Amino acid sequence: MTSLEIRKIDKFYGVHQALFDVSLSIGKGEFVTLLGPSGSGKTTLLKILAGFETVSGGEITLDGRNITELKPEARNFGLVFQGYALFPHMTVRENIAYPLKVRRMPRDAVATRVREMLDLVQLARFIDRKPSELSGGQQQRVALARALAFRPDVLLLDEPMSALDKKLRVDLQEELRQIHQTLGTTFINVTHDQEEAMHMSDRIAVMNHGRIEQFDTAFALYRHPGARFVAEFIGKSNIFPGELTREDGGSAIFRAEGMEMRLDAGSRTPGAADLMVRPEDVLLGTAPAAGRVNLPAEVLGSTYSGDRALYALKLASGRALSAYGAARSGVHPEGAQVFASFSPEDATLIG
Which range in 37-45, 121-129, 229-237, 242-250 contacts ligand ATP by CB under 6 A? Answer: 37-45
Q: Does 42 bind ligand ATP (CB under 6 A)?
A: yes
**Contacts of residue 250, Cβ cutoff 8 Å, sequence gap at least 6:** none
Name the residue type at position 195.
E
Shortest Cβ 105–other proteins spacing (Å): 11
- Please identify, using beta-carbon distances, which residue of 13 and 304 lies nearer to ligand ATP: 13
- Please identify, using beta-carbon distances, which residue of 105 and 168 lies nearer to other proteins: 105
Q: Does 43 bind Mg ion (CB under 5 A)?
A: yes
For 256, list phi and psi in degrees, rounded to 5.
Answer: -140, 180
Residue 79 binding target from other proteins, Mg ion, ligand ATP, none, CB below 5 to 8 Å by type? other proteins
Q: d(Cα 4, Cα 342) in Å, to the nearest integer?
A: 41
Among 27, 37, 83, 184, binds other proteins (CB under 8 A): 83
Shortest Cβ 62–other proteins spacing (Å): 15
Q: Does 105 bind other proteins (CB under 8 A)?
A: no
Cβ atoms of residues 210 and 17 within 8 Å: yes
Q: d(Cα 331, Cα 111) in Å, to the nearest integer?
A: 62
- Please identify, using beta-carbon distances, which residue of 187 and 254 lies nearer to other proteins: 187
- Please identify, using beta-carbon distances, which residue of 47 and 308 lies nearer to Mg ion: 47
Among 33, 40, 201, 214, binds ligand ATP (CB under 6 A): 40
Burial of 187: CB neighbours in 10 Å, binned 0-12, 13-18, 19+: buried
Q: Does 194 bind Mg ion (CB under 5 A)?
A: no
Q: Does 13 bind other proteins (CB under 8 A)?
A: no
Q: Does 189 bind Mg ion (CB under 5 A)?
A: no
For 323, list phi and psi in degrees, rounded to 5.
Answer: -150, 145
Among 24, 30, 31, 36, binds ligand ATP (CB under 6 A): 36
Q: Does 9 bind other proteins (CB under 8 A)?
A: no
Provide the phi-psi class of 328: left if phi over 0, else alpha when psi is between -120 and 50, else beta: alpha
- The upper half-sphere exposure of residue 344, i.e. CA atoms within 13 Å in the direction of its Cβ, equals 14
Shortest Cβ 161–other proteins spacing (Å): 17
**Binding interface with Mg ion (CB under 5 A):** 43
**Binding interface with ligand ATP (CB under 6 A):** 13, 16, 18, 36, 38-44, 192
